[in-house]
């Protein structure tokens, strides 16, 4: 684990819930009653639940979940927002690498806590238009109880996830900007932190 990841278990687990909110769902028998965007959110989980229960090696799981993140989430938008005031300082020749590593970083949190979330089920409650986005309200149900999860879907892709009132984009922004601030804007420590997820 990297030097930047020395927070308490509950903090990391909360961040994990946020980062994996794009996938921890199960297809519902009542899916036909859902709107198209609600079906989209519910349908994302079919692949993820199979992955969570596949018992594949961790390296394989990280790779497969990273692909799911890239497929269903707007990683570019989330990644840039997470850089906050440092967004314009991201080296142009490293942008593609950055977005790939952000997807890998989110995937690593999923795999770190895979055993805690096998068999998780999501129930879609409602959805509402908010500007150019649709906010889908849902509840994730597991052995530990229910967790409220809201999804922001923009232009057909998940652009943010809110777990118990906290948005993924803001959590990432805090982590990334803290690292960049300590390094006086040098991106090398941030890239090192992102790459370290491969060894979690």
Domains defined along the chain, listed by start? 9-199 (3.10.450.710)
Q: Which 3-state string (H, E, C) describes 22-78?
A: CCCCCCCCCHHHCCHHHHHHHHHHHHHHHHHCCCCCHHHHHHHHHHHHHHHECHHHH
The rounded average pLDDT for each run of 10 residues, N- to C-terminus, in the chain (200 residues) is 43 50 44 80 73 83 87 90 95 96 84 63 87 89 75 89 79 93 97 87
Identify the pLDDT of residue 10. Answer: 40
Identify the pLDDT of residue 113. Answer: 62
pTM of the full structure: 0.72
């Amino acid at each position: 684990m990297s030097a930047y990841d020395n927070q308490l278990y509950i903090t990391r687990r909360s961040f994990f819930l946020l980062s994996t909110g794009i996938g921890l769902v199960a297809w519902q028998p009542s899916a036909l009653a859902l709107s198209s965007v609600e079906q989209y959110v519910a349908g994302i989980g079919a692949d993820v639940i199979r992955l969570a229960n596949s018992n594949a090696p961790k390296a394989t799981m990280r790779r497969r979940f990273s692909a799911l993140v890239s497929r269903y989430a707007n990683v570019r938008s989330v990644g840039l927002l997470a850089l906050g005031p440092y967004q314009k300082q991201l080296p142009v020749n490293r942008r593609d690498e950055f977005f790939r590593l952000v997807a890998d970083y989110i995937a690593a949190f999923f795999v770190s806590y895979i055993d805690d979330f096998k068999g998780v089920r999501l129930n879609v409650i409602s959805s509402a238009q908010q500007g150019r986005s649709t906010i889908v309200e849902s509840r994730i149900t597991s052995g530990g109880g229910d967790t409220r999860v809201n999804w922001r879907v923009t232009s057909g892709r998940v652009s943010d996830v809110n777990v118990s009132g906290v948005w993924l984009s803001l959590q990432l922004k805090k982590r990334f900007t803290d690292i960049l601030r300590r390094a006086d804007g040098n991106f090398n420590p941030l890239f090192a932190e992102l790459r370290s997820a491969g060894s979690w």
